[in-house]
Copies of this chain bind each other. A is one copy, B any other.
Amino acid sequence: MSSDGEPRRRADVRRNEKALLDAAAAVFVVSGIDAPVRDIAARAGVGVGTVYRHFPSRADLVVAVYRHQVEACAQAGPEYLESESTPYAALLRWVDDFVDFLVTKHGLAGALSQGEGFAALHTYFLDRLVPVCADLLAAARASGEVARPDVEALEFMRAIGNLCIGAGEDKRYDARKMVAILAGGLTVRRAASGDR
């Protein structure tokens, strides 16, 4: 209540939020991104009301949970452009990181393609990563390695996201391999007769 009561409280709140994020991350892995709020609250050792106070909507929680990784991924783009031998190599490496991220988060890829109620989530991810991917793509196009000028970063990323849906659930489906093939397809000049 006094000036030194606040900091204590704030510390508590922060601790709570951390616990919530950890719990959500753990639960998401097991039960997917649609896991019951109660499960998350229980694992964090807080009441459900607390979850709602910190994260009014589910998307807010999801965004918060994955913010760190998204940031890391965003920062890796420019770095690879410097460190890798060619822009396309940089693109491939970055794509691989992105796949890593999606594949380890069970259900995340699916949620990203849903839009339905996950608008905020969708928005955040794309706003942050699309520019990064666009730079990589543009560079690889400029270097002549990527032969498709008609592929935008947004759709490319979304395609990667989609390919990662359900990855890990079925041994016979290797998302990483399919993404590699997709990336390979970028180097192929479109047939004269058109795609269709």
Contacts and interface: CB of A to CB of B under 8 A. Distances in A.
Given A188-B184, A188-B188, A195-B180, A115 B163 contact: no
Interface in A3-27: none
A175 to B, nearest CB: 8
Contact of A185 (B115, B164, B173, B181): B181
Contacts of A156: 178
Contacts of A154: 172-173
B182 A155 contact: no
Contacts of A150: 177
Contacts of A128: none
Interface string A56-96: 00000000000000000000000000000000000000001
Residue in A155, A158, A177, A181 whose Cβ sees the most chain B Cβ within 10 Å: A181
A43 B11 CA distance: 27
Interface residues of A, number: 39
Given A166-B113, A166-B114, A181 B172 contact: no
The 3 closest A-B pairs by CB, nearest first: A185-B185, A181-B185, A184-B185
Contacts of A163: 159, 162-163
Contacts of A188: 181, 184-185, 187-188
Nearest to A180: B195
Contact of A186 (B113, B115, B165, B181): B181
Given A115-B166, A150-B177, A172 B185 contact: no
